[in-house]
Structure 1
Amino acid sequence: MRILHCLSQIPGKTGSGVYLQAIVREAAGSGFEQAVVCGLPETMPVNETDLAIEPENIFATRFDSNDLPFPVAGMSDVMPYPSTRFSSFDEHRLNLYKKAFSKILTAAVEKFSPDLIHSHHLWILTALCKELFPEIPLVTSVHGTELRQLQLAGHLADKIIEDVQTVEKALTLNHDQRQKVLATYNLSPEQVTVTGTGYRQDLFCSDFCNKEKIPTIIYAGKLSRAKGVLWLVKAFNNLNDNAQLWLAGSGDGPEADEIKTLAIANPRIKLLGALSQPELADRFKQAHIMALPSFYEGLPLVLLEALACNCRVVVTDLPGIRELVTREAVKDGLVNLIPTPPLSGPDILLPENEKTFLLHLEKALITQLENVKKQQFICCHSLQTTLNETGWQQVFRRIKIVYNEVLQKQD
């Protein structure tokens, strides 16, 4: 089987990019022939994408170039690298974007002749795949950020929803997201199936855990307000505790600068920068608590990665989280859920709600720090079952079933 994967941004730098790398790696292990279309800065070599395929089968649309004279357009408004917001797209910029990706897509299909296209996000690139190659079956992984962009870049929404109606299959991360996709995109129930997300079980595990002597909280992700990082730093600063906070990740622009400035002022907070998967696994094995006070998530596999490394968790009570981490883990206190605050739009915390959110976050951190000091060990059987079943090998097995179904229908 020949699969052409399509991602409109840089592989490996965000959740969808890690997902792409994992699926390519699993498919390569199953003997699939593969190529990838992705969006890269003009100066980034294709071999830096860490994709398990030959460089000649990576087709890059180049940003900050003559064809696209602006940074990579990101599916989140704050990316871990210089980026452009889709909300800033006028008709001219949109046409440049479509033209550049159409050129690369056409070259990839002509050279590689895929049996099937697997795109990421129900967004512009997926619509282009169907417009240019209606005869090639199209499977699309939903990551959740496209649902947010439908609100943030509302002037693009109607056309995108119309243009993705004929995708063969949309793959969602959980059942809640499936319901949102059905309601938002008006797809039929037969078009949308849950395949979930996964993590690297070879890296993220309890083997060789060496926890810090000082209680350690870690955050991993983009340094942005939407991820709740600013309030995590503020909450940590309010704690009267001999603990430390690690911030793993990067960001660009005033939001990241604000977070970094506040963090640097506290000697108990360490900025780790962007980490590779092996580096992040090592940090999780040293930390005691993983904090993710985000206002919007698709399905954060970073929670599974941390739990697999024997970290306790503090996370916002977002749709799909209880399903992911299991209700038993919440009941037993291994996972502490923070009430989701009222928001403006998909991910903006209203000033009048900041105080309450901060208090909830502080309380959750204090509770988990106390549990760490008690050296409590919890054996959560349902969580262990989830961890065993959510490796990338299992996720790809479900995706492979979809590939075969789609191709059989075409025959």
Structure 2
Amino acid sequence: MIRVLHCLSQIPGKTGSGVYLQALVREGRKLGLDQWVICGVPASMSKVEIEELADHHIFPVVFDAPELPFPVAGMSDVMPYPSSRFSAFDRDALTRYERAFAARLKEVVAAVHPEIIHSHHLWLMTALIRRLFPDIPLVATSHGTDLRQLQLADHLALRAISGCQDVDKVMALNQEQKQKIIDFYGLEEHRVVVAGTGFRHDLFNASQCNKGDELTVIYAGKLSRAKGLPWLLEAVAGIENITLKLAGGGEGREAEEIRRQAEKLAPKVELLGALSQEELAEECKKSHIFVLPSFYEGLPLVLLEALACGCRVVITNLPGIQSLFPRQALAAGIISLVPLPRLIGPDVPRDEDLPRFVNNLRVAINKQIDNVRQQQSYCCPPLEERLRENTWERIFARVMEIYREVLEQV
């Protein structure tokens, strides 16, 4: 069976890309793939656990260590754990970063002889892999944050682009992202395919839902301004008789400011902290409305998870978001789209647009509250079919097709 080396430059399971990697490993094991993982972790993490993968198949690159004396570099500027920003990388940090990953990559490739490497993010590590191993088939999944880093850390952009241009196949999350990848990286259209994102239907489903009489709204994601949280809290402050639960973590000043803002609204707002997939599924099953006021996303799999648990949804009208659900779900009022404010760069809203944004959020949430009070449950066969199409089993079937296609070209 195929020998696959998965590569992620940050902690598995803590962000969308980490959950994606874990899902690939889990589904690959079902098909008997031989799999190994290289990932970036802090020195304080004594053990890296990836479901279905033995310890000797996991090879960490350790940060906060002599070779890499700074926290894990995050693909977002605000991560759910202590992290470094690529925008702050100087020549020394870049050299240390590439040297550490190169050493681990060479060691693992020499030991396991992968037939294919699957890297995550069209960024520095993927570019490094291509330079080190030009003859090993390389596929990469873009999670959207790489496109964002091209702007936030533009002094590193050419280094990332030059290596990523030679990736054999790139997997995009949606059609809009595919076009951006083609434009930004100068790739031929046939080398970029839409693979999508998935969710665990064994966890996220409508069975054993316990949506009580007290109306509950839930958010899941990082505690950051780019996720729109300060303005969600402002909007919710003006809505009576609801509870807002914030599921997610964050480090640094931004996250602390959001926590303080949320604590001032207690008990209306509850901070749940970072949750496991199992814990998040339980919270979604108890919640009536899911809200994601983000200014930038790749393709938020948490939206699928919430819909699968019977939540109604309020979400910003992000590029590509409407490809994730059928138009009938919008027409039926299951999903409410909130217009984005104008942005400066990838994810900073213009100040003059924020009062309208807060009001639009409040109106959309109130509309879904009315819908819940009239009828929480809903029936939308096209939405149910779309959810079936986006289980991890279906997504991994597409990934396997890409693996086979690339290997046949060797």
User: What TM-score do the two structures reach when normalised by structure 2?
Assistant: 0.98
1:67 matched to 2:67? The reply is yes
Q: How many residues align?
A: 408
Amino acid across the alignment from 1:3:
V
Deviations 1:76-135 (A, max 9, x none): 000000000000001110000000000111111011110000000000000111111111
Which residue number in structure 2 is paired with residue 45 of structure 1? 46
Pairing of 1:81-160 with structure 2 (within 5 A) = 81-160=81-160
1:242 matched to 2:241? The reply is yes
Asked if the contact 2:124–2:159 (Cα under 8 Å) also holds between the matched residues in 1, the reply is no
Aligned residue for 2:262, secondary structure, equals: helix
Deviations 1:323-346 (A, max 9, x none): 102211111110000001101110
Amino acid across the alignment from 2:251:
D
CA shift at 1:155, angstroms?
A: 0.5
* In structure 1, distance between residues paired with 2:149 and 2:327: 30
Which residue number in structure 1 is paired with residue 256 of structure 2? 257
Aligned residue for 1:4, secondary structure, equals: strand
Deviations 1:260-308 (A, max 9, x none): 1011112111100000001000000000000000000000000000000
* In structure 2, distance between residues paired with 1:311 and 1:269: 18
Asked if the contact 2:200–2:391 (Cα under 8 Å) also holds between the matched residues in 1, the reply is yes
1:402 matched to 2:397? The reply is no
Amino acid across the alignment from 2:249:
S
Which residue number in structure 1 is paired with residue 34 of structure 2? 33
Runs of 4+ in 1 over 3 A off after TM superposition: none
Aligned residue for 1:226, secondary structure, equals: helix
* In structure 2, distance between residues paired with 1:212 and 1:101: 49
* In structure 1, distance between residues paired with 2:377 and 2:22: 33
Q: Aligned in 2, Cα 1:376/1:219: closer, same or farther, shift over 3 Å?
A: closer
Which residue number in structure 2 is paired with residue 268 of structure 1? 268
Pairing of 1:146-295 with structure 2 (within 5 A) = 146-239=146-239, 241-266=240-265, 267-295=267-295
Asked if the contact 1:6–1:120 (Cα under 8 Å) also holds between the matched residues in 2, the reply is yes
* In structure 2, distance between residues paired with 1:51 and 1:128: 27
Asked if the contact 2:227–2:293 (Cα under 8 Å) also holds between the matched residues in 1, the reply is yes
Amino acid across the alignment from 2:85:
R
Asked if the contact 1:314–1:336 (Cα under 8 Å) also holds between the matched residues in 2, the reply is yes
* In structure 1, distance between residues paired with 2:287 and 2:377: 15
Asked if the contact 1:46–1:60 (Cα under 8 Å) also holds between the matched residues in 2, the reply is no
* In structure 1, distance between residues paired with 2:400 and 2:126: 19
Aligned residue for 2:14, secondary structure, equals: coil
Deviations 1:360-399 (A, max 9, x none): 1010011011111112432112111111111101000000
Pairing of 1:291-302 with structure 2 (within 5 A) = 291-302=291-302
Aligned residue for 1:355, secondary structure, equals: helix
Amino acid across the alignment from 1:299:
L
Gapped regions of structure 1 (runs ≥ 5): none
1:24 matched to 2:32? The reply is no
Aligned residue for 1:38, secondary structure, equals: strand
Asked if the contact 1:37–1:58 (Cα under 8 Å) also holds between the matched residues in 2, the reply is yes
* In structure 2, distance between residues paired with 1:45 and 1:370: 48
1:10 matched to 2:47? The reply is no
* In structure 1, distance between residues paired with 2:362 and 2:208: 30
Amino acid across the alignment from 2:254:
E
Asked if the contact 1:199–1:305 (Cα under 8 Å) also holds between the matched residues in 2, the reply is yes
Gapped regions of structure 2 (runs ≥ 5): none
Amino acid across the alignment from 2:159:
K
* In structure 2, distance between residues paired with 1:155 and 1:328: 44
* In structure 1, distance between residues paired with 2:172 and 2:401: 14
* In structure 1, distance between residues paired with 2:104 and 2:371: 53
Asked if the contact 2:127–2:159 (Cα under 8 Å) also holds between the matched residues in 1, the reply is no
Asked if the contact 1:46–1:58 (Cα under 8 Å) also holds between the matched residues in 2, the reply is no
Which residue number in structure 2 is paired with residue 351 of structure 1? 351
Asked if the contact 2:38–2:59 (Cα under 8 Å) also holds between the matched residues in 1, the reply is yes
CA shift at 1:189, angstroms?
A: 1.1
User: What TM-score do the two structures reach when normalised by structure 1?
Assistant: 0.98
* In structure 1, distance between residues paired with 2:321 and 2:47: 34
Asked if the contact 2:288–2:376 (Cα under 8 Å) also holds between the matched residues in 1, the reply is no
1:57 matched to 2:54? The reply is no
* In structure 1, distance between residues paired with 2:50 and 2:261: 33
Aligned residue for 2:226, secondary structure, equals: coil
Question: Kindly, what percent of the aligned residue pairs are identical?
Answer: 53
* In structure 2, distance between residues paired with 1:46 and 1:129: 25
